[in-house]
Every structure is written in C-alpha cells, then in structure tokens.
C-alpha cells in the first residue's frame, strides 16, 4: 500500500506544479487535522468517470485523493446520474488524466455534484489499446 500512497503523492505534487499551490492546505492535512483512515492530499486534477453502463464518459475534477479514495466533482454542465439515495454503492471506473492511472471506485458519499469514492483496487496505468 505504501507504493500506492507514494504514487498518489507524486501525482498530487505534479498537479500542484501544473496548477499552482493550494495555499497551505496540504500542510494542514499532513499535520493531522484530517482524521480519515489515510492522509488526503488536495489536488485539482482532471479525470474521467466511466460508468458501468452505456453512459458516455463524464469529465470530472479530483479535488482530493488518498491511497484509499478520492473526492471528485463533476465538471459544470454535466448531469450527475449518481443522485442520492440510489447512487450510494454504485461503481464506476475513474481515470486520472495527468498520470494516466485508472481505478475502480465505489460511491460512498454524494453531495450535489461532488462524490466521495472508495478505491476498490490500487490505481493502475491505463492499458494501451493495440
């Protein structure tokens, strides 16, 4: 699991270099203010949600990430098909565009266009098409 955390930390750092600092929020999270099971890192990374049905992929922003999950926000103008209460427990595949990583996710929290997801497996490089 430490390899996954290291990969996600590098990914979050790369996004901060591209998009700029987040005003010290990472330092607050790293100091222990966040009481979650795994440390979360603030980011602003582009992603895509690939639903497990016939819906088209949806653009999203990954607003924070950890070794065990993430908070994502649907890009404005996109309808969120995962509304409460039916959306809780649904699964989809999340692709993180900066590092071309993909991970299967389980929705554990929904608030308007934001979702908290649990990673079902460790993120893996996106398979290249032949």
Residue 130 lies in a domain: no
- DSSP letter for 56, please: P
21-75 tens-digit pLDDT: 444 444 444 444 445 578 889 999 999 999 887 678 899 999 999 999 999 998 8
Rounded Cα distance between 11 and 99, Å, is 7
Owning domain of residue 71: 2-125
Q: Which CATH number does the domain housing residue 57 bear?
A: 2.40.10.220
**Phi/psi of residue 61, nearest 5 degrees:** -120, 130
Rounded Cα distance between 121 and 45, Å, is 20
Rounded Cα distance between 12 and 10, Å, is 6
Residue 15 lies in a domain: yes
- For residue 94, pLDDT over 70 is answered with yes
pTM, two decimal places: 0.69
Q: How many domains does the chain have?
A: 1
């Amino acid at each position: 699991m430490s390899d996954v955390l290291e990969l996600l930390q590098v990914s979050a750092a790369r996004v901060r270099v591209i998009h700029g600092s987040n005003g010290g929020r990472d330092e607050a999270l790293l100091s222990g203010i966040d009481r979650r099971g795994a440390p979360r890192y603030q980011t602003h990374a582009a992603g895509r949600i690939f639903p497990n049905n016939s819906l088209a992929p949806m653009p999203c922003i990954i607003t924070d990430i950890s070794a065990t999950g993430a908070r994502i926000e649907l890009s404005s103008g996109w309808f969120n098909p995962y509304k409460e209460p039916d959306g809780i427990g649904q699964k989809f595949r999340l692709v993180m565009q900066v590092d071309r990583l993909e991970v299967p996710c389980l929705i554990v929290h929904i608030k308007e266009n934001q979702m908290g997801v649990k990673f079902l497996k460790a993120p893996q490089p996106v398979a290249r098409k032949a």
